[in-house]
Amino acid sequence: MSTNVDICTRIEGHATIEYVMSKNELVAVNFKTDVFRGFEGILKGKFFLDAPRIASRICGLCHASQAIASTRAIEAMLGVQPSASARAMRAVLMCGELVKSHAMHFYFQGYPDISAVLHGKQLGLEDLVRKDPEFTQAMFELIKLGKDVCEAFGGREIHAISPAVGGKSFTVFPKEVTQTRKYLEKIREISRPVLDNLLEDYSATTPADDFAFKNVAFMAMVNGPGASGIYRQDGELAIEMPSGAVKRMSPDAFKEVLWSEKGLRGYETSLDESIALLVGPMARMRLGGLEIDDPDLKQAFSDVAAKWKDNMLFNYATQLLDIHESASMALELLSGLSGETPKPRAIPDEPVRNTGTGIVEAPRGTLIHQYTPDKGKRLGEVELYIPTRVNIPLIDRMLTARCRALFDKGLAMDEIKRRAGMIVRAFDPCISCATHAITRQA
């Protein structure tokens, strides 16, 4: 048995794709993220109030989601409730993070692959700039606008300082709210024609076999039927099974479905071994968290989803929809912001719970921080559940099945490797987030 390791390019971070051969047969193909970073160990023993700032350093793209998940876990442990204004402020910050993250992945990492499948030609970025400078300008503007929203509501572009246990660390003044409203309106204006054009391309194309999946369960934190709440912050944990049945549970009960065992590369689940979990924009869309207000857009997206919903390439269209609708929801939340001055946070001397769980929907899916307290207002055990790591079993399954099929058809390994990279990129893996919990094996 031999192993061929190929570097996976155009992704966030450093990872490889491992091809396992035995007797001239391709046995397995695995997505490998074997870097060790150890953020659970870094957070352990830290003061409660310091944890969110440290957690944001897990990733430069998902920094706000990591900080807010950490903040919510500590608030749950201490029995502290943030104000409505603070919750709205966090949501707008998370919107800016999502816009920047999705737009960067869509243009720089994904669009060459999208062009190859939908247009029959894989364009390099230089070719794309020359061919469609207006599209390039639109994507760069989306990235900048996402950055601007983060800066206004986070205090700085990366590693926001505004989320604080029990509330917020500073007030966004009316002038900044007015400017952010313009940013969000511009995001909607720019993203809509890009999304419309992409949906037309999907509609005219047969779903690509390389990205097809089956026996997948979709998981996301969404508001239940008839319930209201902030997108990506509130709701219940929902799982849509391959049969279409939906199971709903309290976010605190997530270990009924997902848990971690020390020394293992991924997570354990209570699902049948034939079923893989998928989190992210497609899961939010399937479970009703990602709602569409505009009837024309809703119909157009629904028509395309009817034939593309079980195909990972559709993640790109769902990311663009996520940008557009997240900006719409953030605009509504701006009216709920108050100019209240941050007050000194009264932190209880002792936690009211032995465990604190903080869940948010990060750009790439369900992100969970779970902490236990130690003496002296410090963290004890720390568990982090990362969207990319949840998706790795499905990535491996799709890579193995498709690459083996292509190998059996006689395709050259170079072409198989090219297609394998496209499959991985469709998931938008975040290696900075995913690698910290990998445990070194003896």
pLDDT in tens, 369-428: 999 999 989 999 999 999 999 999 999 999 999 999 999 999 999 999 999 999 999 999
Class of domain 39-434: mainly alpha
Q: What are phi and psi of 151, to 5 degrees?
A: -65, -40
Q: CA-CA distance, 19 to 237, in Å (whole number)?
A: 35
Are 86 and 167 a contacting pair, CB within 8 Å?
Answer: yes
Q: What are phi and psi of 302, to 5 degrees?
A: -65, -40
**CA neighbor of 192 nearest in space, from 49, 82, 298, 52:** 298
Amino acid (1-letter code) at residue 205: T
pLDDT in tens, 146-193: 999 999 999 999 999 999 999 898 888 899 999 999 999 999 999 999
Residue of 376 and 318 predicted with greater confidence: 318
- Residues whose CB falls within 8 Å of the CB of residue 243, separated by 6 or more in sequence, listed in order: none
Q: CA-CA distance, 216 to 196, in Å (whole number)?
A: 27
Is the pLDDT at 441 greater than 50, yes or no? no
Is the pLDDT at 130 greater than 70, yes or no? yes
The gap between the terminal CA atoms of the chain, to the nearest Å, is 21
**CA neighbor of 301 nearest in space, from 328, 273, 320, 277:** 320
Sheet strands (E) in 285-422: 356-362, 365-374, 378-385
Is the pLDDT at 129 greater than 70, yes or no? yes
What is the pLDDT at residue 94?
98
Are 334 and 340 a contacting pair, CB within 8 Å?
Answer: no
Is the pLDDT at 338 greater than 70, yes or no? no
- Residues whose CB falls within 8 Å of the CB of residue 37, separated by 6 or more in sequence, listed in order: 58, 432, 435, 436
Residues 241/245/249/255 CA torsion (nearest 10 deg): -30
Task: Taking residues 118-144, report their average pLDDT.
Answer: 91
Identify the residue whose tokens are 């669009």: 111
What is the pLDDT at residue 335?
81
pLDDT in tens, 45-92: 999 999 999 999 999 999 999 999 999 999 999 999 998 899 999 999
**CA neighbor of 216 nearest in space, from 162, 265, 269:** 269
Are 18 and 5 a contacting pair, CB within 8 Å?
Answer: yes
Task: Taking residues 283-292, report their average pLDDT.
Answer: 94
Q: List the structure tokens of 358.
A: 């903080």
Is the pLDDT at 364 greater than 80, yes or no? yes
What is the pLDDT at residue 347?
75
Q: CA-CA distance, 139 to 62, in Å (whole number)?
A: 19
Residues in a beta bridge with 368: 359, 385
Place 340 in a pLDDT band, splitting at 50, 70 and 90.
Answer: low
Report CA Rg, the chain: 21
What is the pLDDT at residue 262?
67
pLDDT in tens, 33-55: 877 778 999 999 999 999 999 99
Q: CA-CA distance, 283 to 239, in Å (whole number)?
A: 9
Q: CA-CA distance, 299 to 306, in Å (whole number)?
A: 11
Is the pLDDT at 436 greater than 70, yes or no? no
**CA neighbor of 95 nearest in space, from 263, 400, 323:** 323
Place 237 in a pLDDT band, splitting at 50, 70 and 90.
Answer: very high
Place 264 in a pLDDT band, splitting at 50, 70 and 90.
Answer: low
Is the pLDDT at 303 greater than 50, yes or no? yes
User: Domain limits of the chain?
Assistant: 39-434
What is the pLDDT at residue 344?
61
Of 210-219, 305-314, 334-343, 348-357, least confident by mean pLDDT is 334-343
- Residues whose CB falls within 8 Å of the CB of residue 338, separated by 6 or more in sequence, listed in order: 83, 85
What is the pLDDT at residue 176?
92
Which phi-psi region, left, alpha or beta, contains residue 92 (left: φ > 0; alpha: ψ -120 to 50)?
alpha
Are 367 and 360 a contacting pair, CB within 8 Å?
Answer: yes
